[in-house]
Structure 1
Amino acid sequence: MDALISKQIDETSLRSPPWTTMVSNDDNAYIDFKKQPKLIRGALEDLTPFKKWDFVETFYSLIEWINSASSTLESNDCVFNPVEKNTDQQYPYPKKCSARLMILFRDIPENCQEKSVDWLSNKILTLVSTMKPNFKAGAIALSHSPTCYLALGDQPNTGGMGYQVTLTFLAYGKNESKCYENMKEVLKVAQSSLQGVNKSIQHGELDLLYKT
């Protein structure tokens, strides 16, 4: 599967988890899925209209796992965009759909170390690119989003400036059904790759960055 990494940093807004409300909708308050995993399937409103499609269950499973006790990562934001006309010329399909998942290290200070964030992105990139090499109807793109980590302090001269890693899932097809079928495959690769990253962290691979 194609794996892309963008050097273009998202400067549209500075995120500060745990955020309280969304600018566009005050009703969308932050929910810590690590503490309230049972809310995942009801809180992700973008997915609700598409529950009849198999990819939604795969997406729920990914978010449940990444926020589970067995994960060293967590999610902070999730968006799904339904089928639309495909304008990505490198993929010869008339339709596409997309989704976004923002992830971070649970060890909050790690997110403020550029070396660690780069390691996370590159590790995901490597793992994704080795899976399903013959699958050409989907891709995962990675980018960094500037983030102020309030857990490290919210007073002047405190806090921590760092990043989250944004995963953008892209799936293509001749029609709606094929797009959503291919999105399921993209999400399965994403979960397998993130589980591989998780194992590397648990085995101390990230710690070795600071011993060389």
Structure 2
Amino acid sequence: MGGLEKLVVVAACVLAMTSCASDPSFQVAAMEASDSGDQKAATVLARKEVARFATADQCSPKVTVNCGTLALAYGTLARYQILDGDRMGGESSFRSAKAALRLTGLETRASATGVVYGDVSEAFWKAGDRARAIDVFKEGRTAGADQYLYMTSAARFVDQQQQQQQQQPTDQPPPTAPGPSVQATTRTAGTAPASSPLQPTPLQPTPLQPSPLQPTR
């Protein structure tokens, strides 16, 4: 189990009202299945985790006690779906996670937001869709995610790009103006020679030739 995945389990335990030790979730089993390459099994287990908290007494407009945990469950489900090639299903689960985040208490919303957006962004990155991974990272940053989001591959990539853009102007020397000799040469080479005015050609008189007389009969 990777470092980011372990943090998901810890976050789920913190956000959930039940203890992970006394009431183990399907999260650990799903992550182990995912690590072994069986994304379909991980997806099945993640759906069971979602079902635990997708009830009115766990997360609803009136009862929001486990909305953060439900958001995490939807986020991990989205991750496994994306890694399994089911992008449409992953996007649908991601939307459900964001809906649960809107019902999450302010004291835990930033943490839950960081985990959800971080999971989905990292899944897209691993699946090869880096453009979508970066978009999810930027969306999570705007949504107020905590530091977990900035541990993702997309976050590191964006940070490297920003550093390169900041260093680029100082690495390039300022352009220098051409010297006088170059300017003079340019002006000389680009100047067309002046044409001399045309002189009128004097007209020469044409001598008249007498017409021969024809004899009259």
Give the structure-1-normalised TM-score. Answer: 0.29
* Larger of the two Rg values belongs to structure: 2
Task: Normalising by structure 2, report the TM-score.
Answer: 0.28
Higher strand share: 1
